[in-house]
Chain A
Amino acid sequence: MFRLNRKCMKCKEGTAVLIIRVNDAFCRSCFKEYFIHKFRAMLGKNRVIFPQEKVLLAVSGGAASCSMLSQVQEGLSREAPKKFRFVPGIIYIDDGGACGRSAEERQRSNALLKSIFTETGFTYFIVSLEQVFSLPTSVLVPGTSDPDPSNPSYKQAVDQYIKEKQTLTEENVASAVAQLSIADSAYSPERKLALERLFSSMKTLTAKEDMLQTLRSVFSKLLYSFCFYFLSFLRYVIAVLVILTAIDITHDKASIQRLTESFVTNLQSDFPSTVSTIYRTSEKLHTVMPPQSQTAEPASKCLLCHCTLDTKVDKASAFHATLVSEQLSQIKLQDSSLDAPAQSAEQCCTEGQGCGPGGCCSSNRLPSHQDLKMLLCYSCRLTIKDMVSLRKAPHSWVQSLRVLHSSNSFYDVVDDMASQQFHM
């Protein structure tokens, strides 16, 4: 009954293989042209890339970035004047270390991607996420944890917009969010207006959410169809994607975000006002910032996550209470056994006495967890709690610990560690 007898709506000749948007049937070649046109139009409208510029393409091996790579190749292969006039480079970041992939798996996918990149002829970089620890701290930019009035956050922008326009209701907030999303995209002004009108005509929040989801899925279908029909290597590269999906669908406890998300969505199904209540309640919560004096030094940053240290608080605080409780309940194990020889080391060195036949015992003293904790925020302290040894700590930590301590014997130990790092 429903055999392939529909013709392509564009060329009217080819047999349609795909439906785009609501009911537009395209044949393979017209679909490819449509896709290419969309890509070029987006680049042209946004005007962020200029001729002769070097552009770094971030490729993860997933459908979107592989399509982008193929589109760049396509665009560079055309005869001038339509040819792209920028110079591309590729970067792939191997985050297998953070995802729990084995060394063999990582090697395999790196090799596969390397062969794909080599074929393009572009300069490429394959780096592992762990290398971020070797970067000088001046290069690393912290996440947006500090509120900066000159650069309002997304939520603040929504708030501002709402206050300007109308009274705060749930519906209007959702509209504002949608409008901000539409504004960012490469839609033409007429299309943007049409979308905004459509969105405001929806009565319920659920209807708005459904519409947003539909819009997103239209794009997804476009992307994956292109990959299926025109990118044969994607079938192999999906192996890289699989590990991400594995984490996503197998494990509710894969991350705190997943756990929270599933908790909230499960509640929402039984109590439909859950999400809106959480949203409104969160707006009422805010931390009280202590007044910052002009002469106050800039807040120090955590060594690991580079966010502002949240551990410099007064005694009447929850954090201080946890410290007291920890001290009271601590079973003296490793830390104390390390500290004991350290104390005697300092004693023997400072008193000018010769050390034992085994050499100075301070040479056995490594920076302890206690030293490191001073430089970390609360959550990072919990993270390093399980660290067995600090021998493989990043070089930048070693530097910071050196600054923290001033004893000479400590410098020797630190220098030893530092030279070990380079020879590893």
Chain B
Amino acid sequence: MAAPLGLQLEFGGGAELLFDGVKNHHVTLPGQSDPWDMKQLLAWIRGNMLKERPELFMQGDTVRPGILVLINDADWELMGELEYQLQDQDNVVFISTLHGG
């Protein structure tokens, strides 16, 4: 069984309002046999962190269109999006791009 996974999650652009207004979260994912991937992380976030209005953050298995996801400061599209396998102490940033101004 793999060791628990520590991650730094950040929410910005208004997305933090769905998480009690807190921008920075350090979370520890429980150890499991298979490595954690982004798809599982999103499901975990929905089940354990989202306080309200899950439809504003997620759409089905993935994030809602308009939410920019950066893994270690790089676009998650470069990392394989939902299939990226998380490493210990990875930094994942979710930025809502739904507002101009």
- Name which of B1-9, B41-49, B77-85 contacts chain A: B77-85
Please give me the residue from chain B that is nearest to A214 by CB atom.
Answer: B65
* B92 touches A (CB below 8 Å): no
A residues in contact with B83, CB < 8 Å: 1-2
**Contact status B74-A220, CB under 8 Å:** no
B78 & A224 in contact (Cβ 8 Å cutoff): no
A220/B66 in contact, CB under 8 A: yes
A414 vs chain B, min Cβ distance (A):
41
Could you give, for residues 9-34 of chain B, a 1 whenever the CB lies within 8 Å of some chain A CB and a 0 otherwise? 00011101110010100000000000
Contact A221–B17 (Cβ < 8 Å): no
Q: Is residue A87 contacting chain B, with contact meaning CB distance below 8 A?
A: no
Q: Which of B84-101 contact A (CB under 8 A)?
A: 84-85, 93, 95-101
How many CB-defined contacts (below 8 Å) exist between A and B? Answer: 93
Q: A1-B80, A217-B66 are in contact. Are A63 and B99 (CB under 8 A)?
A: yes
List residues of chain A with CB within 8 A of the CB of B99: 62-63, 241, 244-245, 248
**Among the listed stretches A13-21, A72-80, A118-126, A282-290, which one makes contact with chain B, having 4 or more residues with CB under 8 Å of it?**
A13-21
How long is the Cα–Cα vector from A190 to B77 in the complex, in angstroms? 29
What does DSSP make chain A's interface, helix, strand, loop or mixed?
helix
Contact of B79 among A4, A65, A242 (CB under 8 A): A4
* Contact yes or no, B98 A220, CB < 8 A: yes
| Pairwise interchain contact B65-A64, C-beta atoms closer than 8 A | no
Minimum CB–CB distance from A59 to chain B (whole Å) comes to 9
Distance in angstroms between the alpha carbons of A224 and B13 in the assembled complex: 9
B17 touches A2 (CB 8 A): no
Partner of B73, one of A17, A223, A242, A244: A17
Interface size on A, residues (CB 8 A): 35
Whether a CB of chain A sits under 8 angstroms from the CB of B68 is yes
Q: Flag if B101 contacts A241 (CB, 8 Å).
A: yes
Tell whether A202 is near chain B: CB-to-CB under 8 Å: no
Q: Could you tell me if A61 and B101 are in contact, using CB atoms closer than 8 angstroms?
A: yes
A268 to nearest B CB, angstroms? 15
> Contact at B101–A63, with CB atoms within 8 Å?
yes
Instruction: Give the nearest-CB partner of A245 in chain B.
Output: B14
**What's the nearest-Cβ distance from chain B to residue A58, in Å?**
10
Residue A48 CB within 8 A of the other chain: no
* B residues in contact with A228, CB < 8 Å: 12, 68, 70, 93, 95
Q: Does A25 contact B (CB under 8 A)?
A: yes
A133–B24 alpha-carbon span in the complex (Å): 41
Report if B75 contacts A (CB, 8 A): yes
Nearest CB of chain B from residue A246's CB, rounded to whole Å = 6
User: A138-171 interface mask toward B, CB cutoff 8 Å, 1 = contact, 0 = none?
Assistant: 0000000000000000000000000000000000
When the two chains form their complex, are residues B78 and A2 in contact, meaning their CB atoms are under 8 A apart? yes
**Contact A2/B12 with A17-B74, A60-B101, A224-B68 known, Cβ cut-off 8 Å:** no
Chain B residues within 8 Å of A249, by CB? 14, 17-18, 53, 56
How far apart are the CA atoms of A331 and B99 in the complex, in Å? 47
* Residue A6 is within 8 A (CB to CB) of chain B in the complex: yes
Complex Cα gap A19–B99 (Å): 20
Contacts of B16 in A (CB 8 A): 242
| Known pairs A16-B78, A246-B17; A235 contacts B56 (CB<8 A) | no
Chain A residues closer than 8 Å to B53, beta-carbon distance: 249
B74 (CB) vs chain A CBs: closest residue: A17
Chain A: minimal CB distance from B29 (Å):
19
Q: How far is the CB of B96 from chain A (nearest CB, A)?
A: 8
Instruction: Out of B56, B74, B100, name the residue touching A64 (CB < 8 Å).
Output: B100
Q: Are B13 and A238 within 8 A (Cβ)?
A: yes
- Asked if A4 and B68 make an inter-chain contact with CB atoms under 8 angstroms apart, the answer reads no
Residue A273, interface by CB 8 Å: no
Query: Which residue on chain B has the smallest CB distance to residue A220?
Result: B97
By a beta-carbon cutoff of 8 Å, the part of chain A in contact with chain B is: 1-4, 6, 16-19, 25, 60-65, 213, 217, 220-221, 223-225, 228-229, 235, 238, 241-242, 244-246, 248-250
Please list 27 pairs of residues, one from A and one from B, whose beta carbons are closer than 8 Å in the complex, sorted by A's number: A1-B80, A1-B85, A2-B80, A2-B83, A17-B73, A17-B78, A18-B75, A18-B78, A61-B101, A62-B101, A63-B13, A64-B101, A220-B66, A220-B97, A221-B68, A223-B97, A224-B68, A224-B95, A228-B70, A235-B23, A242-B21, A245-B14, A245-B99, A248-B14, A248-B99, A249-B56, A250-B17
- Seen from chain B, the residues whose Cβ lies within 8 Å of a Cβ on chain A are 12-14, 16-18, 21, 23, 53, 56, 65-66, 68, 70, 73-75, 77-80, 83-85, 93, 95-101
